[in-house]
Amino acid sequence: MSTLDIVNPKEAVAAAIPATTNNTVLSGSEAVLEAFIAEGVHTFFGYPGGAIMPIYDALYDYRDKLNHILVRHEQGGIHAAQGFARTSGEVGVVFATSGPGATNLVTGLADAMIDSNPLVCITGQVFAHLLGTDAFQETDVINITTPVTKWNYQVTDATEIPAVLAKAFYIARTGRPGPVLIDITKNAQIQKFDYEGYTPCNHIRSYRPYPKVRKEYVEQAAALINEAKRPFVLFGQGVILGKAEAEFKAFIEKAGIPSAWTIMGLSALPTDHPLNVGMLGMHGNYGPNVLTNECDVLIAIGMRFDDRVTGRLDKYAKQCKIIHLDIDPAEIDKNIKADVPVWGDCKETLPLLTQLVNKGNHKEWLQRFRDMQQQEVEAVIHDELNPTSEVLTMGEVLKVLNELTGGDAVIVTDVGQHQMIACRYAKFNQSKSNVTSGGLGTMGFALPAAVGAKFGAPERTVVAIAGDGGIQMTIQELGTIMQFNVGVKLIILNNQFLGMVRQWQQLFNDKRYSFVDITSPDFIAVAKGYHIEGQRVDARENLRTALKTMLDHDGAYVLEIMVGKENNVFPMVPQGCGVSEIRLK
């Protein structure tokens, strides 16, 4: 056959690869979808384009088995996959095409990497023979995404697909979870090959997701805890990722240790649990921050001592012994030197520790948290939740929302002042209920993540809370909500400013408000344009009814709430200060 005779790319590739007919013959694209089915994937997100068309063509025949949600932007797609992973505890999956499709995933990958979300991202890529030639919509996706993926791999031959996909799902969900990206060239998607079935992966020789638990460290940790007069537990998302909420609760209850959370750990322990003493970090609660520097043993569980949690490191927890439980050995001693490192999955290590610790209750010590909480209530919380000013506060919105949901809703937040207020005041009864961009701080996260969160937990109420800035970054996802009838309730807390930056400019830059004055469209008209119901509220007497209308509404709803323009979030640990230098005003 002369090269000129070949006009169909499918035939071109098929001609290059002789196929035997003993087994099932599948295309690379079909093998990808078979892998999804074998891995239990039912819903995923994506956006088609040239280089991923063969997979979309195959998907046409899998429409009854796989639910593909067409987003409005690839960033929306990956945030949705993150939201899905966070509420379902399963791997989130997203498709994008080559070039701009793939680069639009990068923000979401970085977000998922730093917040340990299990994701499998499939990107289309130009034909293998075009790699490196600046072909149409070609980008070097593997190298662009290397620093923001747990693992990535480029497939140029369809026969690799079953094993690579199996590896991808295994790596994404095991150990410390993270995003995996598989880039598949168009020829590999088209190529037919002898399909020998799908074998899930459960071992990679160079990858040890679960470090071996060293008993002696558990014993040392228990000994320290048993001697402690003022022990203090800090917990992060590791408890949720390890599905170890019950083990965690059993541990703190037996030892009677006050426990505070990072925003990624929020909802792992019910808000009204007697040992839950609140939030850590820059806008966290007063007691947990100040008492970090007064405890005698600090027990960190599945958290990584982020700078927003620790403030200045040389003024952080210098007086105490530190026990650090983490599944990721690279986290031990990274920011804070641990006296006793307990490597391992906390689902495994916590019960061992619980066995060895004495029953205890540190009543007086716990009372100190309660006393400081009272101080915080008087100085900050009371006014935030029950303002006497005419304008609404974000805090009172959360208070009424808590009363109406009873703490059963999934709360998805964006980034900024409203995020801190929501994390501080939202009530949670069950785990996997708080979805937020913690590590990366990605504005525009909330709306698409809420779409995914709703698919991940369809029976639950999902409330997205965003500011007037962040919502404008990904507002196009209202289109996804419209098309697929996603019952997301969106609250826009509008203070007519990029509030968090404005707060810093007020406090640290002499009120030089540099480009934080943001104007907004008529959000309700925008929602109506997408055939989504909504209303705007600016008076206190209408707040409760409006929130109730939103929650009772069958389907998506947009509620814009006008709040005080120059309200600040307090308490605050100013940058460069130690946690005990937290300011109440």
Partner 1 sequence: MQKQEYTITVYTENQVGLLNRIAIMFSRRKINIESLNTSPSEIDGIHRFTIVVNETEDVLRKLVRQIEKQVDILKAEFSTNEEVIYQELALYKVPTPVIAEKAKVERLLREYGARAVVIRMDYTVFETSGHREEINKLLAALEPYGLMEFVRSGRVAIIKASTGFHDKLKEFEQRERSEEVAENEYLGQQEKVFTM
When the beta carbons of 62 and 153 are compared against partner 1, the nearer one is 153
- Taking the least distance from each CB to partner 1, the nearer of 175 and 311 is 175
Q: Which residue has the tokens 């599948």?
A: 26
Reply yes or no on whether 372 is catalytic.
no
Contacting partner 1 within 238-297 (CB under 8 A): none
Among residues 10, 11, 65, 136, the one annotated as catalytic is 136
If the CB atoms of residues 7 and 197 are measured against partner 1, the closer one turns out to be 7
Residue 330 binds to partner 1 (criterion: CB under 8 A): yes
Kindly state the tokens that stand for 225: 């805890």
Nearest CB to partner 1, comparing residues 150 and 454: 150
| Maximum Cα interatomic distance, the chain, rounded to a whole number of Å | 88
186 counts as catalytic = yes
Distances in Å between the Cα of 42 and the Cα atoms of 39, 65, 69, 85 are: 9, 7, 11, 12
Collect all residues with Cβ–Cβ distance below 8 Å to 246 and sequence separation of at least 6. none
How far CA 130 is from CA of 9, 50, 133, 184, 572, in Å, comes to 13, 14, 6, 13, 53
Least spacing, CB of residue 117 vs partner 1, in Å: 17
Binding to partner 1 (CB under 8 A) within 333-362 occurs at 333-334
319 a catalytic residue: no
Q: Which is nearer to partner 1, 139 or 402 (CB)?
A: 139
User: Alpha carbon of 301 to those of 18, 64, 238, 432: distances in Å?
Assistant: 54, 42, 7, 17
Binding mask 169-208 for partner 1 (x = CB under 8 A): --x-------------xxx----------------xxxx-
Question: How many residues belong to the site for partner 1 (CB under 8 A)?
Answer: 41
Instruction: Please identify which of the residues 74, 247, 384, 396 carries the catalytic annotation.
Output: 74
> How far is Cα of residue 479 from the mean position of the Cα atoms in its chain?
22
Residue 180's nearest CA partner among 232, 135, 118 is: 118
Cβ distance to partner 1 smaller for residue 13 or 569 = 13
Instruction: State in angstroms the smallest separation of the CB of 410 from partner 1.
Output: 31
Name the CA dihedral angle for 385, 388, 392, 393, rounded to a multiple of 10 degrees.
Answer: -40
When binding is defined by CB under 8 A, the residue of 142, 404, 482, 518 that contacts partner 1 is 142
Q: How far is the CB of 186 from partner 1 (least distance, A)?
A: 8
Within a 13 Å sphere around the CA of 328, how many CA atoms are in the beta-carbon half?
19
CB of 154 to partner 1, least distance (A): 8
- Choosing from 38, 131, 356, 524, the residue that interacts with partner 1 (CB under 8 A) is 131
Dist. CA 486–CA 556, nearest whole Å: 6
Only segment of 12-20, 232-240, 393-401, 444-452 that touches partner 1 (CB under 8 A): 12-20
Q: Say whether 137 is catalytic.
A: yes
Kindly report the backbone phi and psi dihedral angles of residue 310, in degrees, each rounded to the nearest multiple of 5, phi listed first: -90, -25
* Of positions 42, 129, 370, 531, contacts partner 1 by CB under 8 A: 129
Chain centroid to Cα 511, Å, comes to 33
CB of 332 to partner 1, least distance (A): 8
Instruction: Please identify, using beta-carbon distances, which residue of 17 and 37 lies nearer to partner 1.
Output: 17
In angstroms, give the least distance from the CB of 218 to partner 1. Answer: 21
> HSE of 372 in the Cβ direction (CA atoms, 13 Å)?
23
CB of 199 to partner 1, least distance (A): 14
Contact (CB, 8 A) for 240 and 327: no
Catalytic residue at 237?
no
Question: Quick check: helix, strand or coil at residue 568?
Answer: coil
Does position 57 interact with partner 1 (CB under 8 A)? The reply is: no
Neighbours of 533 (CB within 10 A): 16
| Residue 18 makes contact with partner 1 by CB under 8 A | no
Q: Which of 23, 143, 430, 575 binds partner 1 (CB under 8 A)?
A: 143
Segment holding 435, helix H or strand E = strand 434-435
> Residue 196: is it exposed, middle or buried by C-beta count within 10 angstroms (0-12/13-18/19+)?
exposed
Write out the catalytic residue numbers.
74, 136-137, 186, 500
Q: Which residues bind partner 1 (CB under 8 A)?
A: 3, 6-7, 9, 12-13, 16, 127-133, 142-143, 146-147, 150-157, 160, 171, 185-187, 204-207, 328-330, 332-334
